[in-house]
Structure 1
C-alpha cells in the first residue's frame, strides 16, 4: 500500500523510512532509524528526483506507481550517487526502459562503477547553471562538490522555489507521517540527530558547505527538500543558520564538554570533581562523557556544539588510552577546530598522555590551550583540589 504526501499541488514525497537499520553507513548508531526521501514532479513530463535505499524498495515503488497513476516516468534527476539514494536506478530502467537520466559528468562516471547497464544510452549530462523544463516546472542545476561526495549537486525548481538539497540539510531519524519540519518539534526532537548527521557525514567539508550556502543565498528559496529527514517550508533561517555555524566551525554553545577515559574510575572521579567545581562557579552548560561508553559520533557532535573541551585520559602502554586516541583521530578527520581545550592526564608510573593529547590537538586548526596539563598520579588527592579549582577558573575566564 502506498504512503505518499503532497509537497505542493504537483510535487509528491515518495520516500520511506527504515527503522530496522541499526548503523547508518554501517558505522553510526541510529536508534530512531532513518528516512530516504525521493520526490516526483507531475507535469507535462514526469520527473523523479533521486531514488532510495534498496531496504525500502517495495515502499518506494508502491509510492511511485501510485503517484504516476498509470503514466510512465520520463526523467530521473540524480543529485547524489551514494547507494542509499541511487540503489534503485537499474530497477527503474527495467520498469521504465525509455527513462532519461539527468546528472553531471561525475554522476555518470560513478554510475558506470555501480551498474552494468548502458548508462550512456540514457544519460543527459548537465553542468553548473544548466536548466531543464518539464513543462511548467524549470529546474536549475547547482554543483555542490564534496558536500559530501565529488559528484554531489542540488536542484532548484524556479516555479515552486524548492531547493532539492541532496544530503545537505538532512538528519538521522525515521519520518513518522509528519514529513515537514513545522509539523514536529525540531529543536527538541530532531536537532541532536541533525547535528550528529552533519558533523559526522559532512563535517570535514566546511569550506565546501560555505560555498554552497553562498550559492543558495543567490536563490529565492521557499522550501528545502533534503534526502534524509524533514522538509523545510517554514523558518528556513533556523536550519540555514545552523549550517552556517557548523560549517564555519564556530561553537554552537558556550558550553564545557569533559570527555574522559578511565580504566578503574580514578580519571572519572577527577572529571566529575572538575564538573562540580565548574557548576559551583556558575557554569550551567556542562556535559561529561565516558569515551569508552559513548559512540564517537556523539562525541564529535558535541565537540562541534561546545566551545570548550576538556580531555582527560590515563596513559596506556606508554600512549593515549585507545578510546581517547580514537576520538582524537576523528576530531582530526572531521576538521574540528576553533575550540578552547584543556588536558588532564593520569598515570601510576609514567604519565605522558597529556603531552601526547596536546600534540594531537596542536595539529588541529585554531585550537587554544587554556591551561597547563593537570597531572593525576593514580588517584586524585585532596591537595590537588586547588589545581582543579585553578583549571576551572581558567575555563570560566575564557568563556565569552
Structure 2
C-alpha cells in the first residue's frame, strides 16, 4: 500500500504549504500548513474537498498518481473556505462531468464565490451517496464549525470521518500522512493554536459536533489540515472537548506591554513572585513583540490570565487593547483574571482592564495593582501582594 493510501480505496491527495507566512493573512505558520483532500474509490470516485488554488496543479498530479486516467464522478465539499474550495473551478474544467455535492448553503456559496450553479447535488442531514464496492458516504451537518455551511462526511464501511476543519491543526506534514507516520507530539501546540485562532469563538457548535461524532464508531479522522488521526483519536477529541468548553488547565499567562520598561518590570516581578509561591506553569508575553496566535493559544490552554499595561493617550496601550479585542471576539466565558497598570499623570489602564473583566463577566482574583511613574520598591511590594493573593486563591481551590 502506498503511503498516501490511508485505507484500501481511500487516498490522501492533499498538499503541503511551506511558503505562506500568514494563515487567513493573520496567523503565523512557523512550520507551514497542509491543505488536505481525499479520494474515496469505489465503482465511482469521490474527491472530498480540494486545496488552495495556488497548489491546484499538485492536487491534479496527486489525483492522477492515485487513479490514473479514471474520472472523478463527485466532488464533496465539506467546507467552503477558499483554502479548501478555490480549486473547484479548475477541477470542473478538468472533469467537466463532475457533480458537486454539498448542502444548500454550500451550493449557494459555490455560486457566489465561483459562479457555478449547475451540475450539483444537494444533500441534507443523513443523506447517502453510494459509490459501489461498499463505499457509501453519508453527510452530517456541523454548522458554525466554523462556517454556517460546514458538514462532515462519514464512510461507514471504513469507519472513516472526513471532518473538514474540525480536528485540524496548523503544521505541514513531514513525510507521512497519518499520526503513526509523523511525529504527532509536534502538532499538539499547533492544534491548540489553530483552535484558538480559527475556531475559538464557536465552542457551543463544536460541542454539538462532538456529540454527533461520538455516536459514530470512528477509527480514522481525515481533517482538512494536519495529520490523519488514527492512534491519537482519544487525545484529539479530548483537546477539542476541553478547548470548546473553555476549560483551562492550571497555569498562568502574564501578558503585558510596556513603553519604557516600567510596566515590564511589574510583569517580571509578578511572574517571579508567582514562581516563588509555587504557582505554575507561568508564561510571560510582551504583547508588543509576541506572536498573537501563541498568546491566544495559551489563554485558551491555561485557567488564569494576568494582563498589564500603561495608560496611553487616556486609554489602554494599543497592544494590550488588541489582546482584549481578540479575547472578547472569542467569547471566552470564564478565566481567573488579575491585572496591573501604570500611568504618568492620569491613570486609565487599570480602570479599563477592570471594565473589560466586568464585560466578560470574569471574576477578579484580587484587587488590581496601579503604579504611578517609575518602578520602585513600593511597586515591587504591590506586585508581591498581587502574586500572593493569586497563590492564596489557587491553594484554596
Fold-level match, TM-score > 0.5?
Answer: yes
The correspondence of residues 181-196 of structure 1 with structure 2, limited to 5 A, is 181-187=179-185, 189-196=186-193
- Deviation of 1:395 after TM superposition, in Å, equals 1.1
1:350 partnered with 2:349? no
Deviation digits for residues 24-54 of structure 1, max 9, x if unmatched?
1111111111100000011110111011101
- Deviation of 1:174 after TM superposition, in Å, equals 0.9
Counterpart of 2:154 in structure 1 is: 156
Unpaired runs of 5+ residues, structure 1, are none
The correspondence of residues 1-400 of structure 1 with structure 2, limited to 5 A, is 5-117=4-116, 119=117, 121-135=118-132, 136-187=134-185, 189-251=186-248, 253-365=249-361, 367-399=362-394, 400=397
Unpaired runs of 5+ residues, structure 2, are none
Aligned residue for 1:369, secondary structure, equals coil
CA contact (8 A) 1:4 1:15 kept: no
- Deviation of 1:368 after TM superposition, in Å, equals 1.6
- Deviation of 1:183 after TM superposition, in Å, equals 2.8
Q: 1: distance between equivalents of 2:170 and 2:354? A: 33
Structure 1 runs (4+) greater than 4 angstroms displaced = none
Deviation digits for residues 343-371 of structure 1, max 9, x if unmatched?
10100111220110111222114x12011
TM-score of the aligned structures, taking structure 1 as reference length:
0.96
- Deviation of 1:4 after TM superposition, in Å, equals 6.6
CA contact (8 A) 1:303 1:336 kept: no
- Deviation of 1:249 after TM superposition, in Å, equals 0.6
TM-score of the aligned structures, taking structure 2 as reference length:
0.97
CA contact (8 A) 1:4 1:14 kept: no
Q: CA RMSD in A?
A: 1.3
- Deviation of 1:149 after TM superposition, in Å, equals 0.5
Q: 1: distance between equivalents of 2:317 and 2:277? A: 30
